[in-house]
């Protein structure tokens, strides 16, 4: 690795200040808010990590270790304070086939390679390309993810031990019925009510934590028979220990894990960077995309060597954290450390928490995450934007986040290209300086989508001997545009006529030079350069 990249890596992994905003001080009151927010997040992480471990087909501790390690590293050096990372369903559904075919050791090796790819992306600063994701795609993303979070909670309304997780919470199993279902629904509703009312009474304790505490207290005090965290699996364990993946160091192994690593790295970064943007909108903070890529990569590298399943940013837990008042890195660090304490010491107590309380918290996250205003603007925005919002939402639910975002970006890009392709047109007039010459003033961008329309603008047979094409209100973008210019020039040459192109931009000059056009000075127009077309006697005048 070049020294410059090593230096960049070292600089980017320097742990930033713990405060989110320059004026945010770590006062006792702020530390209390951060710690309580971290505790709330840690409680919400437990069932998620266990469930996603089941989805991937690995031991629950593999998911819990991933939640601890990925959460800790990204909290320390991530691109945005307030974000929470851990084991996620989007990654788990990809891992399941790898684990089923090759075993968990290949998963650990894949997570290591996944982390290396993400570090490389961060070093190359490719995280900035997340800005190419249009706003309709973001709306579809948050709506789809809210629906996915909602569906994932439905598995908790099934009899423990009968659920077959599929990633969206809609696996097989027997639904609760009768009194158990009524209790589950009642406690879930009570939790949601407490979270809704609590901020109107006091903000000393985060509302989600108050909801969990009150409902757990009622269940334990009255001995109510409802599903609890312990019904999913025991979360007791030891410290994660260093573990080199036991896989053959061969080319065949690399060929097996590489496709999975690339897919996991892409999904993890897309979900993390979109969550970064969403948290940024809530906290008024921007930037940090490449740093987040580095943090995710470093976290997964470490996790793969310590028996974790890897992970990425978690939008649900991030929303819980931010809405609980967290604004610094302390909350994310505390959440990871609380989770470790649960694993080492407090497993019997945490396993008593009713799942209904955690489901209620996640349902409130769903309500807060879903972009309800998108339902009202569907009839107000352009039809293609409304279509993209719905498309990304549906694909997110039916497939996964990465596929949905890629599809949404492609559709948006094609729509943009088509709209710009229709803008090309020309205004004609007589030249004021060249007697008898006709001027075409080109309007709109000239690129691959509009090149055919550009060629059709000219009346070659009916035009005079000299034609001037003015690009002052246009822009030549790509090789297809140059090819269109060449085609027009060739048609005029075939008719024995001369064409001059004026006001080409500097970047167009560079394109012309790369394409082999000869640039010489023009005597009749010293403010421009002349490009003599290869093979034909065509003058092309361009601006300096």
Q: What is the pLDDT, as a whole number, of residue 288?
A: 87
Q: What is the pLDDT, as a whole number, of residue 164?
A: 54
Q: What is the pLDDT, as a whole number, of residue 486?
A: 84
Rounded Cα–Cα distance for residues 425 and 462 (Å): 18
Rounded Cα–Cα distance for residues 447 and 170 (Å): 47
Which stretches in the chain have pLDDT values below 50?
A: 1-3, 5-23, 165-170, 517-544
- Per DSSP, what are the bridge partners of residue 521? 529
316 φ, ψ to 5°?
Answer: -65, -50
Contact in structure between 326 and 34 (CB atoms under 8 Å): yes
The residues near 260 (Cβ < 8 Å, ≥ 6 apart) are 94, 95, 98, 110, 114
Rounded Cα–Cα distance for residues 338 and 321 (Å): 14
One DSSP character per residue, 423-462 reads: T-EEEEEE-SSSTT-EEEEEEEEESTTTHHHHHTT--TTT
Measured from the Cβ of residue 74, the count of other Cβ atoms closer than 10 Å reads 30
Rounded Cα–Cα distance for residues 443 and 450 (Å): 11
Q: What is the pLDDT, as a whole number, of residue 66?
A: 96
Per-residue pLDDT tens over the stretch 460-476: 999 999 999 998 888 88
Q: What is the pLDDT, as a whole number, of residue 403?
A: 86
One DSSP character per residue, 32-69 reads: HHHHHHHHHHHHHHHHHHHHHHHHHTS-HHHHHHHHHH
Strands 438-446 and 312-313, sheet pairing: unpaired
- Per DSSP, what are the bridge partners of residue 85? 313
Kindly state the DSSP code that residue 93 receives in the 8-state scheme: H
Rounded Cα–Cα distance for residues 86 and 495 (Å): 69
First to last CA, the chain: 40
Rounded Cα–Cα distance for residues 185 and 179 (Å): 10
Specify burial of residue 239 (Cβ count, 10 A radius: 0-12, 13-18, 19+): exposed
How high is the mean pLDDT of the chain? Answer: 85
Q: What is the pLDDT, as a whole number, of residue 511?
A: 60
Q: What is the pLDDT, as a whole number, of residue 507?
A: 66
Domains and CATH numbers, the chain: 27-159+180-384 (no CATH), 425-543 (3.30.750.24)
Q: What is the pLDDT, as a whole number, of residue 355?
A: 93
Q: What is the pLDDT, as a whole number, of residue 400?
A: 79
Of 292, 256, 313, the C-alpha closest to 90 is 313
The residues near 492 (Cβ < 8 Å, ≥ 6 apart) are 458, 460, 463, 467, 498, 499, 538
CA quadruple 82, 85, 88, 90: dihedral sign: positive
- Per DSSP, what are the bridge partners of residue 445? 475
Q: Please report the beta strands in 311-357, taking only residues with DSSP state E, as ranges in sequence order.
A: 312-313
Of 23, 144, 28, the C-alpha closest to 400 is 144
């Amino acid at each position: 690795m070049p020294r410059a990249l090593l230096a960049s890596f070292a600089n980017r992994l320097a742990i930033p200040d713990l405060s989110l905003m320059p004026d945010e001080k770590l006062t006792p009151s702020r530390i209390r808010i951060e710690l309580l927010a971290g505790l709330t997040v840690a409680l919400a992480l437990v069932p998620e990590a266990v469930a996603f471990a089941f989805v991937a087909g690995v031991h629950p501790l593999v998911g819990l270790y991933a939640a601890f390690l990925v959460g800790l590293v990204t909290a320390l050096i991530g691109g945005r304070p307030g974000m929470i990372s851990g084991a996620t369903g989007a990654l788990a559904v990809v891992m399941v086939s790898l684990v089923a075919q090759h075993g968990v050791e290949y998963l650990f090796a894949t997570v290591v390679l996944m982390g290396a790819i993400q570090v490389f992306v961060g070093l190359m600063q490719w995280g900035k390309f997340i800005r190419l994701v249009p706003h309709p795609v973001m709306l579809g993303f948050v709506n789809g993810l809210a629906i996915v979070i909602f569906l994932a909670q439905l598995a908790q309304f099934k009899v423990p031990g009968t659920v077959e997780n599929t990633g969206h919470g809609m696996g097989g199993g027997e639904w609760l019925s009768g009194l158990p279902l009524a209790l589950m629904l009642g406690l879930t509703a009570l939790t949601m009510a407490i979270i809704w009312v609590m901020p109107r009474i006091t903000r000393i304790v985060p509302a989600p934590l108050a909801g969990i505490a009150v409902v757990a207290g009622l269940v334990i005090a009255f001995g109510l028979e409802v599903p609890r965290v312990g019904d999913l699996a025991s979360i007791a364990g030891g410290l994660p220990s260093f573990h080199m993946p036991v896989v053959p160091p061969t080319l065949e192994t690399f060929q097996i894990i590489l496709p999975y690593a690339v897919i996991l790295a892409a999904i993890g970064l897309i979900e993390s960077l979109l969550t970064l943007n969403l948290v940024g909108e809530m906290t008024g903070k921007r930037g940090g995309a490449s740093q987040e890529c580095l943090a995710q990569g470093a976290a997964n590298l470490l996790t793969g060597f310590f028996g974790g399943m890897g992970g990425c940013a978690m939008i649900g837990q991030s929303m819980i954290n931010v809405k609980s008042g967290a604004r610094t890195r302390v909350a994310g660090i505390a959440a990871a450390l609380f989770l470790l304490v649960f694993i080492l010491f407090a497993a019997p107590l945490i396993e008593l928490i009713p799942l209904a309380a955690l489901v209620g918290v996640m349902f409130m996250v769903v309500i807060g995450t879903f972009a309800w205003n998108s339902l009202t603007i569907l009839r107000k925005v352009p039809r293609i934007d409304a279509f993209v919002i719905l498309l990304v939402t549906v694909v997110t639910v039916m497939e996964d986040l990465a596929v949905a975002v890629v599809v949404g970006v492609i559709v948006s890009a094609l729509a943009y290209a088509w709209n710009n392709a229709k803008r090309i047109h020309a205004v004609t007039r007589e030249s004021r300086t060249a007697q008898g010459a006709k001027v075409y003033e080109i309007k709109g961008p000239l690129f691959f989508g509009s090149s055919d329309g550009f060629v059709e603008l000219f009346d070659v047979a009916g035009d005079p001997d000299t034609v001037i094409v003015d690009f002052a209100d246009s822009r030549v973008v790509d090789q297809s545009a140059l090819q269109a210019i060449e085609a027009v020039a060739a048609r005029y040459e075939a008719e024995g006529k001369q064409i001059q192109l004026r006001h080409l931009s500097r970047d167009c000059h560079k394109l012309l030079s790369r394409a082999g056009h000869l640039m010489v000075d023009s005597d009749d127009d010293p403010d421009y350069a002349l490009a003599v077309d290869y093979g034909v006697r065509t003058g092309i005048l361009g601006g300096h």
